């Protein structure tokens, strides 16, 4: 049986279309989704939506978080300012695998202007199923956590 997750999701206006598509896919696959907005393509500021996603992850209210914008850079930066969040900006499936297997990323950032919608859905799927390798990566994550 496929594992399902509780997932927080949020985007600014530039990531709204993919947010909606990803949310629909996640719900169809049995995941629980908390949508922190935005709820339209009207111009807005990504921190207003990314911080609540990251805070929900850090507080243990959800297992994973996904943030989206035009490039994904600002969204990842915002999420990574929340202690306990490891947000990886991913632009293909291999980077998504590394973000989980090497960094135990609990948050994913995608730029709507950088990948196709089909690629974004594939990135999310592989990111969700990839396990953390542990081992040599654990001390690195501990260093990140201790320096935050």
Q: Domain residues of the chain, as ranges?
A: 6-147
Provide φ and ψ at 140, rounded to 5°. Answer: -65, -45
Give all strands of the β-sheet with 32-35 in edge-to-edge order. Answer: 32-35, 6-11, 64-69, 107-111, 87-89
Which is the catalytic residue, given 13, 31, 75, 112? Answer: 75
Active site residue 102: yes
Whole-angstrom distance, CA of residue 55 vs CA of residue 137: 24
Convert the pLDDT of each residue in 41-88 to its tens digit.
Answer: 999 999 999 999 999 999 999 999 999 999 999 999 999 999 999 999
* SS3 assignment for 69-102: ECCCHHHHHHHHCCCCCCEEECCCHHHHHHHHHC
Q: Report, in angstroms and rounded to the nearest whole number, the Rg of the chain calculated over CA atoms.
A: 14
Average pLDDT of the chain to the nearest whole number: 96
Confidence of residue 39 (pLDDT cuts 50, 70, 90): very high
Among 20, 63, 93, 102, the active-site one is: 102
What is the CATH class of 6-147?
alpha beta
- What is the model's pTM? 0.97
| Active-site residue, 93 included | no
């Amino acid at each position: 049986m496929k594992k399902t997750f509780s997932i927080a999701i949020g985007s600014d206006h530039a990531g709204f279309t993919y947010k909606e598509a990803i949310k629909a896919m996640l719900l169809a696959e049995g995941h629980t989704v908390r949508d922190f907005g935005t709820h339209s393509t009207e111009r807005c500021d990504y921190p207003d939506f990314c911080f609540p996603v990251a805070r929900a992850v850090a507080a243990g209210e959800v297992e994973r978080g996904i943030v989206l914008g035009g490039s994904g850079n600002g969204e990842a930066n915002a999420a990574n300012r929340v202690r306990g969040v490891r947000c990886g900006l991913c632009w293909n499936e291999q980077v998504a695998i590394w973000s989980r297997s090497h960094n135990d990323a609990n948050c994913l950032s995608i730029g709507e202007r950088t990948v196709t919608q089909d690629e974004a859905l594939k990135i999310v799927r592989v990111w969700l199923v990839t396990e953390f390798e542990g081992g040599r990566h654990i001390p690195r994550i501990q260093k990140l956590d201790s320096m935050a």
